[in-house]
Amino acid sequence: MVRTLTALVLDTCAVLDLSADLISDLRALRALHDALSVRAVYVPSIVALEIAQKVWTGRLQLAAFQQHVKPAEWFGAVVRWLDARELPLTSAGAAAAYQLPEPFHRDPADRIIVGEARALDAQILTTDRKILAYAGAGHVGAIGY
């Protein structure tokens, strides 16, 4: 399934990589620019949970915007900096995560991100191999970088 959609959903790795200016792939940056031009960049709220979990377990330190910032403050600052829109988890979004065409892996955050992207008919910006493979099977649009 080839998608030429403008809406873009950022997964956790994309948010972290964008905040650290680590994305140089022209296709990814073009998709981001196109989506930003129509205010259609979305960051699912589950990304905030994943970031908070990484900070809590010591696998991530947040210092891109200010030292010793709390994950919720960091997440809000990054969403504003990106000029993105937070995509709150709704009951419909939660249920959609478990109504995806199978097979897909069991990670609840990835399932929610994919379900939300499908509901928006949007592409996902990601480096996640499992999401990219799922996109390769035609179940969701994705741009790898």
pLDDT of amino acid 2: 46
Single out the residue of 41, 50, 40, 53 nearest to residue 12, CA to CA: 50
Can you spell out the DSSP letters for 60-99? ----SSSTT--HHHHHHHHHHHHT-EEE---HHHHHHTTS
pLDDT of amino acid 1: 43
Query: Does the 8-144 domain belong in CATH 3.40.50.1010?
Result: yes
Q: Is the pLDDT confidence value at 142 over 80? A: yes
Single out the residue of 128, 103, 132, 140 nearest to residue 47, CA to CA: 128
pLDDT of amino acid 6: 87
Single out the residue of 40, 49, 50, 121 nearest to residue 84, CA to CA: 40
Residues 84-124: pLDDT tens digits? 999 999 998 899 999 999 999 999 999 999 999 999 999 99
CA distance 47 to 24: 22
